[in-house]
Structure 1
Amino acid sequence: MTAGTALSLAAPHIAFAADEASSAESTGAASLPTVTVTGAEDNKQHLNTRSASGALGTRSLLDTPFSITSVSADDLAERQINKLGDVFALDASVSDNSGGYGAWAAYLTVRGLPLDWQNAFRIDGKPFLSYAITLPYDHFERIDLLKGSSGFMYGFGSPGGLVNYVTKKPTDTPVRSVTVGYTSNNIWSEHVDLGGRFGNDQMFGYRLNATHAQGETFNDGKIRRDSVSLALDARLTRDLTWDFQSIWQNSNSDDQPTSVYTASLTGSQLPSVIGGGNQTLIGRGQHINTNFQLYSTGLTYRLNEDWKANVNYSHSTSKRNRNEGTLYLQNSAGDYNDFRSDSREGHVFDQWQAMLEGKARTGFIEHQLTFGAAWQKQVNDYSISSFYQQIGTGNIYSQNTNSYTSSTDLIPYHNGIITQQALFASDTLKFSERWSLLGGLRYTNFDQKGFSTTGAQTSQYKKDGVVTPTVALMYKPEPNTTVYTSYVESLEQGGTPGTTNSNYGQMLNPLTSKQYEFGVKSEQALWSTTAALFRIERAAEYTNGSGALVQDGESIYQGLELGGTLKLGNQWQTGANLMLLDSKYSKGTTNNGNRVAGAPNFMATAQLAYLVPQVNGLKLMADAKYTGNTMLRAANDIKLPAYTLVNLGASYSTRIGNYDTTFRAAVDNVFDKRYWQYQYENYIKPGDPRTFSLSAKIDF
């Protein structure tokens, strides 16, 4: 992590440069508000940078009444990111439930709520299904996290938040770089980044990224990933721009760590933790193979100085073929029953969206207006003859000797089709330089259908006219500070019970939620700070005593987020971030008053960066994250202990010959801390062991 990158994340929103914001605006790319990350010599976060902000239109981060974290490409490279949980490791509101090489790639908890794996992930604002997909992080300009409800801005989704990957776009300045990397135990990677413009008046732009990674993971599993992304644009006229983005990735992973399922555990005592790099849990034959593709294109037309229109289409597919073990823990001695799942699954998203945004004035009131319409179709495929059975027994402290060979007769069928049609509009009324009021409304028709293996429709949830509003009042006591209070409602798809649930595959009805937030954002010459008080009320969903995933009562999350950065002299920069959270179940038939499963009551991070004056170009970094104790399930009979992870990093920039060259090193989990990592209700796995990463980048 760069000196500024690592630490400015503590404020939970940091950004990228203004020229990138202009590029995003010109192509009409839907994204979360953006931020600029700089080195320790420049503590500013550039919160006045303007960028596209989904259904809210174009606005600065300082004028956006929600909590947002943004992680830049520089930070991703400096910290040698390998999984989604590491992307947001410096945000105290985010719990890491992910795994870098298995099916749990996209699991995160934000403010105590799990992200919705069907709706909580976007690429340039376009929907895709991220289950089991670890994307090529070096292909993105930044990764944004909108914390809290995204119902108005992006439609259906969990109130935990939404992750938006912003792809690298063509730049006016040519880009030429090659990076070679190494990650323990023995994974080698190569990345090429090429971009620029050509043609009359530099009419056409391109950006090509390609990555290959292959080798042995820390638990002696095997991984091979190949990915390519291509972004194009054309300035057809002075006012009309065409853009195109695509990503293709194929990943093959063998012998990866299994998850431990605790619903059948006798008593409430977990076994002693084993090391995350231990091979004993792995039974032979396990693998997960995925293929991901996304293609999107759009036109942006600038009507005049104040108004522009955009229309775009996207298509994404996610396919996975997995032979995955789940260990049903029986007792505190570590005995288990070994269940193996063998299936093929796939998901397709298609979306059309049109948006008009601009400025107007009525009397003394200025208006920032956004109008839009969207259509989205999601198709979920599951295999007809999937296998899920016990294949043996074992103990977590002894080598797993069970094996299962995948079937070749796994034919997928359309299990569910979900269609959404939406209209949305927002108006930000500016009464003076200090006061403004935001109002927004999304109107959605929702249709969810389930099908049997024969193609017969088995269920339907249809609701027209679903309204998800948002309203916010903002006050600026001075130009670089905003105080805001906001309210937003959201509707999310109900959960799909997993293979360990007694009602496996039966889609549940959508859930409703409400969110209240009061916050402050301020950026000054030598320091910055953010604070947010929030309350989220959501319909509760959990696994009951009979093993069924049910909806019962509601879950409430109340919390405080604080963050800040401070520049100390020319070499030092520090930062810290914390979250206090009170969560509970209420209004249900059981578990009332219990803490919500997966919601830590306290989390904190601290970061330090130092520019070494004696060695020009050398930066040293350190950070730590404390994750408080977490309830494993709604009954609150098993508590996962708190743990702290410490990471170190360094980067050295120099010139070799005529080429700018950067060397980077990172050590995650320096003290090789052993801990049970919460993944999902009743699911745990050993936390990742100490890992080393090295890379060298040459710009030419």
Structure 2
Amino acid sequence: MADGKVMQAKSVAGASARAGATNTRGRAAPVLLAAAMLLAPMAIHAQETSARSYALPASALDTALTRFGNDAGILLSFDSTLTASKSTTGLRGTYTVSQGLAALLAGTGLEAAQRPDGSYTLRRAPAAAGPAGAAVLPAVTVTGSAYSVARSELPAPYAGGQVARGAGAGVLGTRDLLDTPFAVTSFTEKTIKDQQAQSVADVVVNDASVRNVDPTNTGYANTYTVRGLILGNGSIALGGLFGLAPNNQTTLAGIERVEVMKGPTAFLNGMSPSGTAGAINLVPKRAGETALTEFTASYMSDSQVGGHLDVGRRFGVDNAFGVRVNGLYRNGDTSVDGQSQKLSAGSVGLDFRHERVRLSADAGYQKIDTDRANSTIAPQVGQLVPDSPSASKSFMSPWNLVETTDYFGLVRGEFDVSPSHTIYASMGKSHNDWKQILDFGTLLRSNGDFRSTSNLNYTGIDRTVAEIGWRGRVATGPVQHEFNVGANRYRADRTSVGTIGLGTIASNI
């Protein structure tokens, strides 16, 4: 019995042993994996904390990292775009893995990160941490501009791009509208393009306080009222100087902005030669950073066809030199019966800009020939004013004509003596030829009858203008002061054959 029990026990034990042997094969992998997981951190820690000697020469960063990984016996993987164009001064001495990677990556903006499996990768280093406990916020880029009294850059436009945030204010320089003690509106080139404006008159009437007395493209001159007061075309300045813009009607071929200043402006711009209601300043175009070649075709009723070419380029170191060329031509019948008009205009704008120096030069030409140009008719005293005729009907004689030709040139320079002080000077000349055979109506009666007197006029005008000044800023304790010491000069020489009467006829509107 005892022997039988022993044999049974052995048998069970043997079965158990056989079963155990069979199960051991099934559990071998988990047991080895568990052992590896227990031993891996110990091996990684030993590898991380153990130091060894390295002698890596200066080379491309990716090359040095690959060699370091081989020598250190680590797995290192990374995106090659992170190390592109980066280099290292090498590694010489005794380092741990972490120390060696940190030394190789110093100054590259990268850092090494260890994965849970013991391998390494690269990532961009975060911004430097602040004081203990302080949160590190992401970088915020703020773009802004200030309108310095010592600069003449164009102020940025408001949202929509049609009106600028600032404008030229004569002796005060280019300023933000909120810092300008005058009522100013600055219309941008976008306004000119969006509204297909043909002359200055088409732009300034966007201001509710300005009205154009004469129609654009069907007359021979523009006259404005600002706040109900007359402002002649002679009060249009070019680059801040009166007397240079075309004498009768100014096109917009080479104009970047149209600035309207309302109210007396003699303190800012000098005495206007044609009215005290305000001033209109034209800002010439300048070449931008991006090369420009633009052609715009146009058609207006009844059959006026034309084109406008605008080309701009910058050259030299830091694009210091700029050239902007504009050409405009238009010819054909206008919307007035029997009337035609031919217009040709061109301008060249050159500029040079440096850290402390800004130079510019502008030259232009404009010629407008209008056949059967419209004129004015004065009513007879005591007579009711008749209803206006159709705007498409001409009540002028078929032989009426007006021919105006203008040439102008302007040079300007600014030099920053210091960040707070600028000296500036500018000078310009213009010449105008004005020939016309034109009817002037008088004694208009309630039935539309009037007397038409035809006159011949020939006038030539030569103008010379100049300006010089010193503009700056000083401080007396906590108080800031801005000052300008300057002088300007305007001279106009007019030649004329006078008015030659050609005859008087009776007519009707």
Q: Specify the TM-score bucket, using the shorter chain as the normaliser.
A: 0.5 to 0.7
**Counterpart secondary structure, 2:281:** strand
Q: List runs of 5+ in structure 2 lacking aligned partners.
A: 1-142
- How many Å separate the matches in 2 of 1:222 and 1:146? 33
**Structure 1 residue 242 displacement after superposition:** 2.1
Supply the distance in 1 between the matched residues of 2:250 and 2:303 (Cα, whole angstroms).
20
Equivalent position of 2:180 in the other structure: 64
Structure 2 counterparts to residues 442-481 of structure 1, below 5 A: none
Partners of 1:101 and 1:339 in 2: CA distance? 23
Contact kept in structure 1, 2:147 and 2:175, CA below 8 Å: no
For 1:672-687, list aligned pairs within 5 A: none
Residue of 42, 61, 81 corresponding to 2:197: 81
Alignment of 1:372-521 (within 5 A): 372-384=486-498, 386-396=499-509
Aligned equivalent of 2:351, options 233, 236, 239:
233
- Counterparts in 2 of 1:322 and 1:56: CA distance versus 1, 3 Å: same
Residue 113 of structure 2: aligned partner: none
Q: CA deviation at 1:21?
A: 7.4
Q: 1:345 aligned to 2:459? A: yes
Deviates more, 1:131-140 or 1:209-218: 131-140
Say if 1:127 and 1:349, in contact at 8 Å, map to a contact too. no
**Pick aligned residue for 1:178 from 266, 276, 295:** 295
Give me the whole-angstrom Cα distance separating, in 1, the residues matched to 2:370 and 2:493: 25
Matching residue within 284, 287, 299 for 2:413: 299
Q: CA deviation at 1:102?
A: 5.6
| 2:443 matches 1:325 | no
Q: Which of the residues 205, 216, 220 maps onto 1:100?
A: 216
Alignment CA distance shift 1:155-1:203 (3 Å): closer
| Pairing 1:561-572 to 2, within 5 Å after superposition | none
CA-CA distance at 1:387 after TM superposition: 1.1
Distance 2:221 2:156 in 1: 26
User: Does residue 144 of structure 1 match 2:262?
Assistant: no
Structure 1 counterpart of 2:426, which letter?
N
| SS of corresponding position for 2:457 | strand
- Tell me what 1:598 maps to: none
Supply the distance in 1 between the matched residues of 2:207 and 2:352 (Cα, whole angstroms).
37
2:371 aligns to what? 254
Query: 2:400 aligned with 1:286, yes or no?
Result: yes
Number of matched pairs: 364
Alignment check: 8 A CA contact 2:331 2:342 kept = yes
Match of 2:276 in 1: 159
Change (3 A) 1:234 1:90: closer
1:379 and 1:64, CA in 2 relative to 1: closer, same or farther beyond 3 A? same
Q: Give the SS at the match of 2:179.
A: coil
Matching residue of 1:121: 236
Residue 53 of structure 1: CA displacement? Answer: 2.0
**Distance in 2 (alpha carbons) for counterparts of 1:112 and 1:102:** 23
2:238 maps to a residue whose letter is: I
- Give the AA of the match of 1:274: P
Matching residue of 2:392: 277
Residue pair 2:150, 2:420 contacting (<8 A) in 1 also: no
The answer to whether the 8 Å contact 1:258/1:325 transfers is yes
Task: Render the CA deviation track for 1:185-222: whole Å, top value 9, x for unaligned.
Answer: 11112011111211233231111111111111011311
Deviations 1:74-129 (A, max 9, x none): 111211223444322232211220222365522011111000444x1101112227
Determine helix, strand or coil for the equivalent of 2:318. Answer: helix
Provide the rounded CA distance (Å) in 2 between the counterparts of 1:169 and 1:205. 7
C-alpha distance in structure 1 between counterparts of 2:443 and 2:247, whole Å: 23
Structure 2 CA distance, aligned partners of 1:256 and 1:111?
28
* Structure with greater strand share of residues: 1
CA distance in 2, matches of 1:196, 1:337: 55
Contact 1:37 1:72 in 2 (8 A): no
Please say if residues 311 and 325 of structure 2, whose CA atoms lie closer than 8 Å, have aligned partners that are also in contact: yes
Distance 1:188 1:205, change over 3 A: same
SS in 1 for 2:466: strand
C-alpha separation in 2, matches of 1:25 and 1:364: 21
Query: Offset of 1:288 from its aligned partner?
Result: 0.6
> Shift of the alpha carbon at 1:389?
4.8
Partner letter of residue 152 of structure 1?
A: F
1:360 corresponds in structure 2 to: 474
* Paired residue type of 1:209: N
How far off is 1:132 after superposition?
5.9
Q: How far does the alpha carbon of each residue in 1:587-614 deviate from its partner, in whole angstroms, 9 at most, with x for none?
A: xxxxxxxxxxxxxxxxxxxxxxxxxxxx
Question: Which residue does the alignment assign to 1:409?
Answer: none
- The DSSP-based 3-state class of the residue aligned with 1:367 is strand
* Matched residue type, 1:394: S
- 1:625 aligned residue: none
Q: Which residue number corresponds to residue 536 of structure 1?
A: none
Matched, 1:243 2:360: yes
Q: CA deviation at 1:19?
A: 8.5
- Asked whether the 8 Å contact 1:102–1:288 carries over to 2, the reply is no
- Indicate how the Cα distance of structure 1 residues 132 and 391 shifts in structure 2: closer, same or farther if over 3 A, else same: farther
Structure 1 Cα separation of the partners of residues 303 and 158 of structure 2: 31
**Rounded Cα–Cα distance in structure 1 between residues aligned with 2:280 and 2:436:** 25
CA contact (8 A) 1:125 1:164 kept: yes
CA distance in structure 2 between the partners assigned to 1:244 and 1:287 by the alignment: 34
Deviations 1:110-152 (A, max 9, x none): 111000444x110111222767632221421111111010111
1:382-422, Cα deviation, whole Å (9 max, x unpaired): 215x31254311111xxxxxxxxxxxxxxxxxxxxxxxxxx
Change (3 A) 1:126 1:340: same
Partner of 2:227: 111
Asked whether the 8 Å contact 1:129–1:347 carries over to 2, the reply is no
Question: How far apart, in 2, do the equivalents of 1:324 and 1:130 lie?
Answer: 23
Measured after TM superposition, the shift of residue 338 of structure 1 is 1.1
Q: Deviations over 1:280-307 (max 9, x none)?
A: x021211111111110112211112221
- Asked if structure 2 preserves the Cα contact closer than 8 Å seen for 1:228 and 1:248, the reply is yes
SS of the aligned residue for 1:55 comes to: helix
Q: Does 1:216 align with 2:329?
A: no
Q: Which amino acid aligns with 1:246?
A: A
Deviation at 1:313, TM superposition (A): 0.9
> Which residue does the alignment assign to 1:315?
429
Deviation at 1:268, TM superposition (A): 3.6
Taking a change above 3 Å as real, the CA distance of residues 225 and 53 of structure 1, as seen in their structure-2 partners, is same
What are the residue-to-residue correspondences of 1:466-615 with 2, within 5 Å?
Answer: none
The TM-score normalised by the length of structure 2 is 0.66
Is residue 253–residue 345 contact of structure 2 (8 Å, CA) maintained in 1? no
Which structure is larger by alpha-carbon Rg, 1 or 2? 2
Q: CA deviation at 1:266?
A: 4.6
Tell me the residue number matched to 1:190: 307
- Structure 1, residues 137-195: CA drift from partner, whole Å, max 9, x if none? 14211111110101111222333111111111122222221101111111112011111
Give 2:157's aligned residue.
36
Shift in CA distance, 92/121, structure 1 to aligned 2, threshold 3 Å: same
Partner of 1:448: none
